[in-house]
Amino acid sequence: MNAERPNGRGAADDVADLAHRAGQLAGWAARTGFALGRKLPGVETAERGVRQVERQLLTELRRRLDEVDDPYHAALTAASAMNRPAAIEATVTLVPVRDNRGEPLRAAMAELLNHSVGFGRERAREYFYAIILRQLTPDEARILSALSDGSPFPAVDVVERTGLGGHGRVVLRNASTVGKAAGVSLPDQVPGYVTRLIGLGLVDLDEEVPSLETQYEILMTDETVREAEKHVRRAKFVRRTIHVSRLGAQFWQACDPSLG
């Protein structure tokens, strides 16, 4: 699957090179506080250029990752080599096929099981981290970078207050100041980004930290929070904190571009 090219480089080498280039760019932006200098002449135009290059690198990296050690990609490639009607019928009806070439899902599972036999501990970890990396957006990578030193950030849920002092439906979950600190491109999507990172196990949700009171007050003025407040008759704000999880710290240690 990792075919060698005439110059001796394989697809995995290309992925590593792209990852290094994307990492260098992200690391440079983080070290120089690039997102904080928008008021300087010409910086806004330069930032747009950096963001575009960053997106291009990450898009290409994700495409290469899709082609390296991806069992489903390999299975689909095998299925596409067959005539189209047969491949479609096999995929939909899951008619048993002896060599599994017509059934991408079964072939993908077989390839995963084969990998599990040959993988050592380090190779299995790299595979696991590559799968996680493939799911991250550039903004989510920036948030994870901001959390990587272990610092907690405030998080707030906006819920509807009930007559008994409890709370009902949640209208906004996991709003946080971490997005602004990270310099994300889509600030209004931060609650979704944080929720996804929690779902991936990279970020933990914890209790309120009183020492972050000032940051909670700033978060309460956030446009996304104030807009959510308009959708309930009586709003209740549930305060929490977010911080990098144990898995998130291990993942960042393996992918941290500044260590490359």
Structural domain boundaries of the chain? 134-253
Quick one: how far is CA 9 from the chain centroid?
28
Of 107, 75, 106, nearest to 1 by C-alpha is 75
pLDDT of residue 87: 37
Each residue's pLDDT tens digit, 202-223: 999 999 999 999 999 999 999 9
Instruction: Give the mean pLDDT of 168-187.
Output: 95
**What is the Cα–Cα distance from 157 to 241, expressed in whole angstroms?**
11
Burial class (CB in 10 A: 0-12, 13-18, 19+), 185: middle
User: Is there a contact between 193 and 137 (Cβ–Cβ < 8 Å)?
Assistant: yes
Residues 23-71 have pLDDT tens digits of 555 544 444 444 444 444 555 555 566 566 656 666 655 555 555 556 5
Instruction: Give, as one character, the DSSP assignment of residue 218.
Output: H
The C-alpha atoms of residue 160 and residue 155 are separated, in whole angstroms, by: 17
**Using one digit for the tens of pLDDT, what is the confidence trace for 112-124?**
888 777 788 888 8
Q: What is the pLDDT of residue 220?
A: 95
Q: What is the pLDDT of residue 248?
A: 97
pLDDT for 167 beyond 80: no
Cα 56 → chain centroid = 16
Helix axes 11-32, 138-147, angle to 10 degrees: 60
**Mean pLDDT on 118-145:** 91
Q: Which CATH architecture has domain 134-253?
A: 2-Layer Sandwich (3.30)
